[in-house]
């Protein structure tokens, strides 16, 4: 019994020592001595429609207002500490029929700043569907709430209907906000939107480089708002607008960066990237369903030569959003010492054609124009020395570590079996 315990302890110690040795890295020596300068805290304001139509009971068996409150409570619990968050309402106070008064009905429910979760939840709990839908005035006021400083700024608008305060067109308001160059992004979410609401909210989002999402369920609303708040805390690069071509020969030439486009249902679009010997092309694409679509759909990203020979095909991947589907690929071009040289004396580049295709379809009642939002990321890095590095992309040295641990376990098992047999033999002899 004592021998068994001693062996078990020894084997466990061996495995632990090997694992610790393998997991330890010298990276700590490369860590900077001083902390980087602190970035300004990002600012987000949630703008919630509290108009009379929010009484409708058609979201998961409860009213739209109840669904919004539930989603807000869960979002407030998850807001990152560094985010300064505020809440503004529209249509929350005036129940009458006077348009002039109703179109001024927007107020800041909770000021933009460090979040007191209890206070913010209490403020949201008091809301009840009341009046008009002054989206334009609310956006103007919200932009004023977020003014000042160099921090990332984002408005997240949640509404179930189009603006009722024309002629102040909220789409024009969004364009004016964008024209000021204050880098304020407006994301819009439509609760069970009709065609007019969807069109207006899409226009508002596009004017500022934001996103539009159609929401059918409480969980979708919660997840999307939370995702947008998190995006403010970890902002992404603003995509550059481009337009893919029907064939590679006419396609725009892309350099490393992030690009946006729109692709029709079931369309193929082409883009070109110049890849030099010794470089690796990394590309990914996301297509968003910003309207109701049929259930079966997919997206394909493919790299080919200018002559049409396929080089590599991407694989689809999820990102946690049910309204977005993505695909990515990698193409390492081996170094070539005897490659042709360009005018700068560098090895001549190969033109790689990137094809983005989708298999989306929509019900007959849904408009297919404009096309679906496409986001394409392109990067060029030094190619790996060994093609096997590409196969283990994202795993680091994980396969090597796993193999060593398996080998250690096998040797430990053999050793334990040999000693067990030896003990049995000694016991029978005695």
Per-residue pLDDT reduced to its tens digit, 100-124: 999 999 999 999 999 999 999 999 9
Question: Does residue 422 form part of some domain?
Answer: no
In this structure, what is the dihedral angle of CA atoms 334, 335, 340, 342, given to the nearest 10 degrees?
100
Q: Which of 302, 241, 305, 293 lies closest to 266 in space, CA to CA? A: 293
Q: Is 7 helix (H, G, I), strand (E, B) or coil?
A: helix
Residues 279, 189 share a domain: no
Residues 252, 229 share a domain: no
Residues 279, 223 share a domain: no
Residue where a domain stops, chosen among 181, 212, 233: 233
H or E segment and range at residue 154: strand 153-159
Q: What is the C-alpha to C-alpha distance for residues 15 and 10, in angstroms, rounded to an integer?
A: 9
Instruction: Place 40 in a pLDDT band, splitting at 50, 70 and 90.
Output: confident
Domain count, the chain: 2
Q: Does residue 309 or residue 2 have the better pLDDT?
A: 309
Q: 272 - beta bridge partners? A: 253, 353
Q: Is the pLDDT of residue 167 over 80?
A: yes
Residues 265, 387 share a domain: yes
**Strands of 324-332's sheet in order across:** 240-241, 257-263, 372-382, 279-288, 324-332, 315-317
Structural contact between residues 364 and 247, judged by C-beta atoms closer than 8 angstroms: no
Pairing between strand 43-49 and 153-159? parallel
Residues 246, 129 share a domain: no
H or E segment and range at residue 427: helix 398-429
Q: Does residue 228 or residue 238 have the better pLDDT?
A: 228
345: left (phi over 0), alpha (psi -120 to 50) or beta: left
325 Cβ contact partners less than 8 Å away, ≥ 6 residues apart: 286, 287, 289, 297, 298, 299, 316, 318
Residues 160, 283 share a domain: no
Over range 185-189, report the average pLDDT.
93
Residues 160, 102 share a domain: yes
Q: What is the C-alpha to C-alpha distance for residues 48 and 56, in angstroms, rounded to an integer?
A: 15
Q: Report pLDDT for 288.
A: 83
Distance of CA 48 to the CA centre of its chain: 22
Question: Does residue 430 form part of some domain?
Answer: no
User: Which domain does 139 fall in, by range?
Assistant: 43-233
Residues 316, 211 share a domain: no
Angle at 164 between CA 159 and CA 168, to 5 degrees: 105
In this structure, what is the dihedral angle of CA atoms 118, 119, 122, 124, given to the nearest 10 degrees?
-110
Angle at 330 between CA 324 and CA 331, to 5 degrees: 145
Instruction: Place 179 in a pLDDT band, splitting at 50, 70 and 90.
Output: confident
Beta strands in 249-397 (DSSP E): 253-254, 257-263, 268-275, 279-288, 299-304, 310-313, 315-317, 324-332, 350-358, 372-382
Question: Does residue 410 form part of some domain?
Answer: no
Instruction: Place 23 in a pLDDT band, splitting at 50, 70 and 90.
Output: very low
Question: Does residue 342 form part of some domain?
Answer: yes
């Amino acid at each position: 019994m004592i021998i068994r315990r001693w062996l078990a302890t020894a084997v466990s110690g061996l495995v632990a020592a090997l694992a610790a040795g393998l997991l330890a890295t010298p990276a700590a020596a490369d860590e900077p001595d001083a902390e980087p300068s602190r970035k300004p805290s990002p600012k987000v304001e949630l703008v919630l429609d509290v108009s009379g139509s929010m009484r409708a009971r058609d979201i998961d068996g409860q009213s739209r207002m109840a669904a919004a409150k539930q989603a807000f409570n869960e979002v407030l619990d998850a807001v990152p500490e560094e985010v300064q968050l505020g809440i503004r309402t529209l249509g929350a106070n005036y129940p009458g029929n006077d348009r002039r008064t109703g179109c001024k009905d927007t107020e800041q429910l909770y000021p933009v700043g460090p979040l007191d979760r209890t206070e913010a939840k209490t403020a949201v709990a008091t809301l009840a569907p009341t009046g008009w839908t002054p989206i334009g005035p609310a956006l103007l006021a919200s932009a004023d709430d977020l003014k000042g400083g160099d921090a990332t700024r984002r408005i997240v608008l949640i509404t179930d209907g189009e603006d009722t305060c024309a002629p102040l067109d909220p789409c024009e308001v969004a364009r004016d906000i964008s024209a000021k160059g204050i880098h304020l992004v407006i994301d819009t979410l439509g609760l069970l939107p009709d065609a007019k609401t969807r069109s207006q909210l899409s226009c508002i989002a596009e004017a500022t480089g934001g996103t539009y999402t159609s929401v059918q369920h409480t969980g979708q609303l919660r997840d999307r708002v939370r995702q947008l708040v998190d995006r403010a805390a970890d902002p992404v690069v603003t995509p550059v607008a481009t337009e893919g071509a029907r064939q590679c020969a006419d396609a725009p030439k892309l350099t490393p960066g992030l690009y946006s486009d729109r692709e029709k249902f079931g369309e193929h679009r082409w883009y070109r990237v110049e890849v030099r010997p010794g470089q690796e092309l990394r590309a990914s694409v996301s297509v968003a369903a910003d309207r109701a679509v049929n259930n079966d759909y997919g997206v394909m990203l493919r790299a080919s030569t200018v002559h049409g020979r396929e080089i590599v095909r991407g694989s689809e991947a999820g990102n946690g959003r049910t309204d977005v589907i993505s695909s990515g690929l990698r193409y390492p071009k081996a170094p070539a010492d005897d490659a042709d040289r360009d005018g700068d004396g560098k090895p001549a580049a190969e033109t790689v054609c990137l094809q983005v295709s989708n298999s989306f379809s929509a019900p007959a009642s849904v408009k297919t124009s404009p096309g679906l939002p496409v986001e394409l990321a392109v990067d060029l890095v030094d190619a790996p020395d060994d093609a096997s590095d590409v196969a283990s992309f994202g795993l680091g040295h994980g396969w090597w570590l796993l193999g060593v641990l398996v080998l250690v376990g096998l040797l430990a098992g053999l050793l334990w079996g040999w000693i067990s047999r030896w003990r049995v033999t000694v016991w029978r002899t005695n």
